């Protein structure tokens, strides 16, 4: 991956000036490259990673849902994946190898909302053959960032 992209991936808030220092390129050249990446769809979005467990009342529920689907002739998995990822509850959708075909990351305010999504929207789709839902209990690391801090051992050593 190009150096500009690597730096932006780890710190999207870096200034053009600092990016120029790190890459040895001019600010105008970097600005032009970034605009080109955005235009081509290489850079899709700038994102802030928020540890929602630190915000009272904002945690909600996250579920990983494995989905078995029947691929359709001439389009494979793409059409059913598109139908599924259009639901607002679906935050991410991935095609997998193995027992299940799609992996969904689904968010909702509570467990009942996620369960209703699976029972009322996802499972009734004609191409869906089966699902397995896993509720996320705790996030330790996301997008390469550790979310939990080690607490110092407060116990006295035994001698």
Looking at the DSSP bridge assignments, the partners of residue 66 are 103, 132
Length of the chain: 159
Q: Which two tokens stand for residue 28?
A: 């105008």
Q: Convert the pLDDT of each residue in 39-94 to its tens digit.
A: 999 999 888 877 777 776 666 899 999 999 999 888 899 999 999 999 999 999 99
Q: Say how far apart CA 143 and CA 42 lie, in whole Å.
A: 18
pLDDT at site 90: 97
In the chain, what are the domains? 3-40 (no CATH), 53-137 (3.30.70.920)
Give pLDDT tens digits for 99-147.
999 999 999 999 999 999 999 999 999 999 999 999 999 888 888 888 8
Residue 17, number of CB atoms within 10 A of its CB? 10
Query: Considering the entire predicted model, what is its pTM?
Result: 0.76
Task: Report the C-alpha gap between 46 and 11 in whole angstroms.
Answer: 9
């Amino acid at each position: 991956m190009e150096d500009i992209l690597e730096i932006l991936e780890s710190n999207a808030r870096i200034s053009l000036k600092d990016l120029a220092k790190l890459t040895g390129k001019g600010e105008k050249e970097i600005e032009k490259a970034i605009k080109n990446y955005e235009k081509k769809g290489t850079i899709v979005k700038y994102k802030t990673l928020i540890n929602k467990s630190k915000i009272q009342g904002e945690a909600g529920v996250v579920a990983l849902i494995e989905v078995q689907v029947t691929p359709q002739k001439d389009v494979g998995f793409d059409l059913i994946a598109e139908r599924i990822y259009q639901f607002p509850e679906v935050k991410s959708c991935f095609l997998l190898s193995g027992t299940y075909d799609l992996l969904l990351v689904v968010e909702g305010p509570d467990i009942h909302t996620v369960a209703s999504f699976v029972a009322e929207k996802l499972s009734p789709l004609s191409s869906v053959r089966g699902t397995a839902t896993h509720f996320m209990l705790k996030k330790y690391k996301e997008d390469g960032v550790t979310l939990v801090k080690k607490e110092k051992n407060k116990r006295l050593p035994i001698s």
